[in-house]
Structure 1
């Protein structure tokens, strides 16, 4: 600041001292000196200007304004005084006066860029983008390298959606200043342009110079999230939070990142903290509820989403989420009411239609909402998949296939839709181009072997057993599938390997073995039916038995009783396999038996983390899982002979007699007559009540040959799907058999099914994938089952059952002898009756229904595997006598 030549020497000294204090930041110390100067030099505008600036710095805006007005009055041609007065007007809310002062400053000095910039900022706050543009262009016309002008114009371009323009101006500003805010905004613009790698590089350089700039760490975390580099994203977001633990945007980003890393418990902790400090943030509550839902904490999920609904009462999407969760908890009336409310708010909320369709028992209402979804032309494959699933549930395979084909048209790489189409066609017995379709499936899988094995991981390996392929091929496919399951479970996961609890100094024979069962579900099904019997049979002096289910139970007595059969039972989160594995590991499980294998609802991702030191598979899938994280396969020598035992990575745990457990029925329904169920009184009745997905053209041709050779005979099936009956009847006609000789009956309650099996003369097993519980039911009621000793395990299930039931002569070496034996038995009532009586008499003596015997054998085999582990030996084949 320059002073008048007539200034006194004492005033000069005071002036220098005041300015020195102001420059050093000691504003309080400078004020009394400037006030003293105002007495010495009352007409000096510079004194009033500096005093106004210092008072403004102390937030004494009214006093500052008075001083600056005096400065302007004394020296109206000073643009700086006009600018400073404008700043004080703006601080005091006098925006029109501020604008006048800024404009005056620019009129006095066209290169007064601070005034132009302040005008632009005022226009921005008023939403007048045209005026912002005008003022900023004034700056850049005079000074193209004005950093603040370029930065502000970049912000304007970003607001306008012109990301190229934004990146251009931010880049200039950043080069001029190296200011981290400029660099951060430049990275954001580049991200929007899809130039993510450039954005990441800029942030890396920025953070090397300014590692304390938390906004850049947050932006970098978001960029890593976008490129699915979740570990790097996590580290960047943690860096932001290390600078400011209350940086909520970074914590929200971290929570989302942990979800992607399958660390749902970690995500939950972050969301819990966010909801405490930001209880009214709807988006956070939405995402928190979804995490809770995936963790299986359904009531807490409902509570969190209810809170979000209070804050956003018109959010139809939120209501649809809540309605769907209520439906999953069997709260059907509440689900329907809420979904209907969502549709009132938004008639296009298709998920609400899906929920009503799934929850209602009113078939007309169900079809009305399904039609609404299909007529909408939606491209949402998740919604369409739900509709297809409903068609499947109601046995309308043809309609389900049409929807799945629509999904494939939208998303050609949707492997689930392709699998469901194939499986449904097999279940419908649609054998058009059967050989070509089967070969196509094999070709797809083999292509996956040559590439990334992805196809092998997505193919339905369980139903592959019903196709004319070798066990070697099935085992190879299973290896790829199991490897992909493990890789998917670990994708982006940052977690330590599980450490197995010390065996508490156990030695062979000391202490109880902690035995766990990894279960898919606990609702009524043939598998839980027999597993309940096994669990009850374990010797509690030797074993402590734990059950873990990835699906919640229903409200049935069966589910409750099944869970009660275990000493301890827990639901574990299917969507968080590592967390589920931790829960099992924390219980100190010694031996874990997975009963799901590569079925549609399975625990393999959990097993892949090795929650137990010894892991086995048995029962639900029963062939090699292909998983190197499964040590043993519970089986028998008939089902998997020694020649096949090395096709999978597991070691064989060979049980004597049969690996297949059974459960003695508690009751058989009241006797019925053939007339009651629509069977001819005097005919020979053959039956096969397996799901038709196990049927194929070769075995069906054999059945037709049998019918032709036994003229007064019929073949009785279960009515599984609407379209199956027509297809099988057409196939029968092709073989020259009257289609009316195929009889279909509805699936009935188990005890009633057992009663009607007494009406049958002979049960015919399948070729590739034999009957399990279906055959056990027949053998229990004394119905002989004719089977074939096939070329893969599934084709030998009938053999192991018949051997264990004491009728090994019913196991044929090939298809020709199978047909011959069926015809012979049809013509020999005495032998059929003798077989029936042997089966009934053998229920108390043969191994198949001797559950106590089976339980002892299983306990001994499990204990042998555990003791082998305690001895420090790797898994090895175990085969014990009785």
Structure 2
């Protein structure tokens, strides 16, 4: 807030403001001027308590002068007394309702406190007084983004841009909105305009990094993040974003120092590190730490959604002829999550369950999207809807149990779950861990991913399925005409280890083990999922540092699912990652007949592959530690008979064990839904509910 000059009015002074002039003697006027100057000097020297005292004395002398209350609000804000500052600003605006800067500062103050509805009201009052203020239009646009009113936000920001085409804040806010929900190309253009006007503006640099990252230009994104972090070195969130991007291309610099430089401070600074970022750190975080990061984000979402809660009345649970299950996801397209779920939608018992799918992202034109739409009883496009309208649409669909498949993952709209438009809320599949949310009732788990005694890892109550928590589609097609070994870039002979996990799951400790395995198995190669040039270069460099010829790393191009499954025939053994296991990729390997070895950790994300192996009847591939993991990998590569026996066992088990029994899985889920609904109807709070 900028200081406004206090001007006591003498009798001869011409009126310049609506408040009536104050009659004072010349001597009294001098005292007022001295007090005003003293208050400003105290403020500038950081003596805030003394500055407040001086301004309150001044307010006693000039109670109807809006500038005194305006300047008092500035001091109170800096003292952390937000409510008192807002009261002072409202007093100033009551005296001078046309003071645009006052409305702007009041709205900004309230917005920074998470009081979005009040902030919007302040900005609207300001616009009533000055409708052509680009600052007010941009500020109101930001609030509407937070409230999920995206269409209105875009209109406001475009109006603002028309008034001030060279205003970096507007360019950045519109760029962020379009980056998340519109045109990436236009978003990048807006950020570039902002950076041309303000080359070191951290928000513009960060927004540009986020946008180009989404179009796959990781090197360029990292360069923007580096500039943003340099421009604001004290901003922990910007440093975290840079770290996350580097880890995403296997740039492991300073990994050993992450706990002191980032993780520890972020636990004390909500918002700097998100739940998904915390899961990808190549360090053994504790369950308590992961829960803390999840809770930070969930509480922020809950506060942002709070003004709408009065509009959305949560229905009461009770007897139903059929339970309506609402599956909400941003991934109802050609995405690994939908690959897993494909058999779920047509398989529910329609005499007892109605299936509503709630799509958060646009149609990609794929067969997966078409199948989800066709195999649902009701398909609702929530993507174009604002938060309030989307929550109303969920209620209108009569959803009893809202299954949030994203929670904190990409494309989520957790605010919808926070509004509780359904009586029961469930965290399942997309997030390998807790939501940290008080508004999430249940997490669906299994006894391997959440053994007895791990209930405190979750803010939710846990419903423990009798078999693997992860759905799998037993009707996935494996192409008969997959690529040849040569077309895959593999050598004509030699043992092929593979890991098709995304690059962010590869961490230095496990990669070092992989290099030791390659060294122990002459002629072997490691087949990885291809990524950005930066990722490939970093892993080749790490291999060379580990004493392995970089050419022994083979990088696979992305292929349609049936061909991707088919190329597994050229792989001999899948090597799992450490802290964040293979999920869909492990299921793919097992379905295609490739054994997977894993060394589970304590936390959910590090135990998924162990659950898959347990429920496909291959517990011998679950290793107690990394030494055993390395030994098993080297032994299987050197003993063709033992490996062949395991592959034969996998082939026999694939269609006879629970893992790929889609119908059996659906029956398990339906029992879980009925049990948690009965709990809701009875008002019970069972912490660990075991589904038989």
Structure-1 residue corresponding to 2:200: 379
Structure-2 residue corresponding to 1:756: 567
Q: Is the 8 A contact 2:325 2:354 kept in 1?
A: yes
Question: Any idea what SS the aligned residue of 1:459 has?
Answer: coil
User: Is the aligned partner of 1:772 residue 2:654?
Assistant: no
Closer, same or farther: CA 609–499 of 1 in aligned 2, 3 Å: same
Give the number of the structure whose residues are more often helix, by fraction.
Answer: 1
Structure-2 residue corresponding to 1:187: 69
Where does 1:634-645 land on structure 2 (aligned, <5 Å)? 634-645=444-455
Closer, same or farther: CA 538–852 of 1 in aligned 2, 3 Å: same
User: Is the aligned partner of 1:654 residue 2:475?
Assistant: no
Question: Any idea what SS the aligned residue of 2:486 has?
Answer: helix
Where does 1:312-351 land on structure 2 (aligned, <5 Å)? none
Cα distance in 1, alignment partners of residues 409 and 683 from structure 2: 32
Displacement, 1:617? Answer: 1.1
Closer, same or farther: CA 558–287 of 1 in aligned 2, 3 Å: farther
Closer, same or farther: CA 658–324 of 1 in aligned 2, 3 Å: closer
2:658 to 843, 847, 850: 847
User: Is the aligned partner of 1:537 residue 2:347?
Assistant: yes
1:458 to 252, 272, 296: 272
Select the structure with the greater relative contact order (CA < 8 A; seq sep ≥ 6): 2
Displacement, 1:442? Answer: 4.4
Structure-1 residue corresponding to 2:226: 405
Closer, same or farther: CA 381–558 of 1 in aligned 2, 3 Å: farther
Cα distance in 1, alignment partners of residues 214 and 236 from structure 2: 20
Closer, same or farther: CA 669–625 of 1 in aligned 2, 3 Å: farther
Displacement, 1:794? Answer: 2.3
Q: Is the 8 A contact 1:546 1:567 kept in 2?
A: yes
2:621 to 786, 791, 810: 810
Structure-2 residue corresponding to 1:744: 555
Cα distance in 2, alignment partners of residues 293 and 321 from structure 1: 9
Cα distance in 2, alignment partners of residues 732 and 632 from structure 1: 43
Q: Tell me the alpha carbon deviations over residues 335-355 of structure 1, each in whole angstroms, 9 at most, x when there is no partner.
A: 76xxxxxxxxxxxxxx77346
1:474 to 264, 268, 287: 287
Q: Is the 8 A contact 1:788 1:814 kept in 2?
A: yes
Cα distance in 2, alignment partners of residues 476 and 676 from structure 1: 45
2:242 to 407, 415, 421: 421
1:626 to 426, 430, 436: 436
Structure-2 residue corresponding to 1:226: 106
Displacement, 1:757? Answer: 1.4
Structure-2 residue corresponding to 1:525: 335
Structure-1 residue corresponding to 2:49: none
Cα distance in 1, alignment partners of residues 88 and 407 from structure 2: 49
Structure-2 residue corresponding to 1:353: 189
Structure-2 residue corresponding to 1:679: 490
Structure-2 residue corresponding to 1:244: none
Closer, same or farther: CA 195–229 of 1 in aligned 2, 3 Å: closer
Q: Tell me the alpha carbon deviations over residues 291-332 of structure 1, each in whole angstroms, 9 at most, x when there is no partner.
A: 6666666666666777778x8597787799778877776668
Structure-2 residue corresponding to 1:431: 252
Where does 1:686-705 land on structure 2 (aligned, <5 Å)? 686-705=497-516
Cα distance in 1, alignment partners of residues 597 and 159 from structure 2: 61
Displacement, 1:384? Answer: 0.7
Where does 1:295-314 land on structure 2 (aligned, <5 Å)? none
Q: Tell me the alpha carbon deviations over residues 739-785 of structure 1, each in whole angstroms, 9 at most, x when there is no partner.
A: 22222233333333222211111111122221011111111111111
Closer, same or farther: CA 494–278 of 1 in aligned 2, 3 Å: same
Question: Any idea what SS the aligned residue of 1:678 has?
Answer: coil
Cα distance in 2, alignment partners of residues 631 and 400 from structure 1: 37
Structure 1: tracts of 5 or more residues without a match: 1-112, 126-135, 158-162, 165-169, 231-256, 337-350, 356-368
CA RMSD of aligned residues (A): 5.0
Displacement, 1:535? Answer: 3.5
Closer, same or farther: CA 206–417 of 1 in aligned 2, 3 Å: closer
Cα distance in 2, alignment partners of residues 320 and 647 from structure 1: 38
Q: Tell me the alpha carbon deviations over residues 461-516 of structure 1, each in whole angstroms, 9 at most, x when there is no partner.
A: 33544556557x2334313531553256326955656643233x51xxx4222323
2:533 to 711, 714, 722: 722
Closer, same or farther: CA 690–876 of 1 in aligned 2, 3 Å: same
Displacement, 1:678? Answer: 1.6
Q: Is the 8 A contact 2:104 2:123 kept in 1?
A: no
So what's the TM-score if we normalise by structure 1?
0.63
Where does 1:289-300 land on structure 2 (aligned, <5 Å)? none
Question: Any idea what SS the aligned residue of 2:487 has?
Answer: helix
Cα distance in 2, alignment partners of residues 206 and 444 from structure 1: 34
Where does 1:212-251 land on structure 2 (aligned, <5 Å)? 215=95, 222=102, 226=106, 230=110
Cα distance in 1, alignment partners of residues 89 and 496 from structure 2: 82
Closer, same or farther: CA 522–733 of 1 in aligned 2, 3 Å: same
Displacement, 1:564? Answer: 5.2
So what's the TM-score if we normalise by structure 2?
0.78
Structure 2: tracts of 5 or more residues without a match: 1-9, 38-42, 45-54
Cα distance in 2, alignment partners of residues 797 and 203 from structure 1: 50
Q: Is the 8 A contact 1:395 1:720 kept in 2?
A: no
Structure-1 residue corresponding to 2:299: 486
Question: Any idea what SS the aligned residue of 1:878 has?
Answer: strand
Q: Is the 8 A contact 2:120 2:143 kept in 1?
A: yes
Closer, same or farther: CA 390–610 of 1 in aligned 2, 3 Å: closer
Closer, same or farther: CA 734–573 of 1 in aligned 2, 3 Å: closer
Structure-2 residue corresponding to 1:71: none
Cα distance in 2, alignment partners of residues 698 and 185 from structure 1: 61
Structure-1 residue corresponding to 2:116: 262
Displacement, 1:714? Answer: 1.0
Question: Any idea what SS the aligned residue of 2:558 has?
Answer: coil
Cα distance in 2, alignment partners of residues 802 and 625 from structure 1: 25
Indicate the structure (1 or 2) with the bigger Cα radius of gyration: 1
Cα distance in 2, alignment partners of residues 424 and 206 from structure 1: 41
Closer, same or farther: CA 278–523 of 1 in aligned 2, 3 Å: farther
Q: Tell me the alpha carbon deviations over residues 75-99 of structure 1, each in whole angstroms, 9 at most, x when there is no partner.
A: xxxxxxxxxxxxxxxxxxxxxxxxx
Question: Any idea what SS the aligned residue of 2:444 has?
Answer: strand
Displacement, 1:736? Answer: 2.8
Closer, same or farther: CA 301–202 of 1 in aligned 2, 3 Å: closer
Q: Is the 8 A contact 1:645 1:651 kept in 2?
A: yes
1:783 to 580, 594, 603: 594
Closer, same or farther: CA 688–411 of 1 in aligned 2, 3 Å: same
Where does 1:270-289 land on structure 2 (aligned, <5 Å)? none
Question: Any idea what SS the aligned residue of 1:646 has?
Answer: helix
Displacement, 1:826? Answer: 1.6
Q: Is the 8 A contact 1:522 1:562 kept in 2?
A: yes
Q: Tell me the alpha carbon deviations over residues 388-417 of structure 1, each in whole angstroms, 9 at most, x when there is no partner.
A: 234534655454334323212222343332
Tell me the matched-pair count. Answer: 659
Where does 1:493-512 land on structure 2 (aligned, <5 Å)? 493-494=306-307, 499-503=313-317, 505-506=318-319, 510-512=320-322
Closer, same or farther: CA 514–398 of 1 in aligned 2, 3 Å: same
